[in-house]
Amino acid sequence: SPACPGPRTWRGARLGGRLPVVAVSTTGRTPAEAASHAAAACAAGADVVELRLDLLDAATGAGPVLGAEAGRRLAEGVWPAVQQVAAAVATTRLPLLA
């Protein structure tokens, strides 16, 4: 990537080096499903796990929101998913993109 001209190491994953990095996206609609996908990705040898917040039921809800409602949705739905998926990959020290 032009934004990362030289190899970089991020939580154990070497990015921009000689070998490709395997990034796996979660596709779960609930925090538990996303955490399960993340754990499976780690077990399969992924280098990076991406939590797809846009696919979570808590994030999509009834469509776009602004202001206080957006903050409530983040606190009540999306943040717990981030915490649950982070816990699923914590022992592997793999990077988690969210």
Local structure of 48: helix, strand or coil? strand
pLDDT of residue 38: 94
Confidence of residue 71 (pLDDT cuts 50, 70, 90): confident
User: Taking the chain, what is the end-to-end CA distance rounded to the nearest angstrom?
Assistant: 20
| CA torsion angle 25 28 78 57 (round to 10) | 130
**Per residue in 27-40, pLDDT tens?**
998 889 999 999 99
User: Which of 52, 38, 34 shows the shortest CA–CA distance to 94?
Assistant: 38
Domain ranges for the chain: 8-97
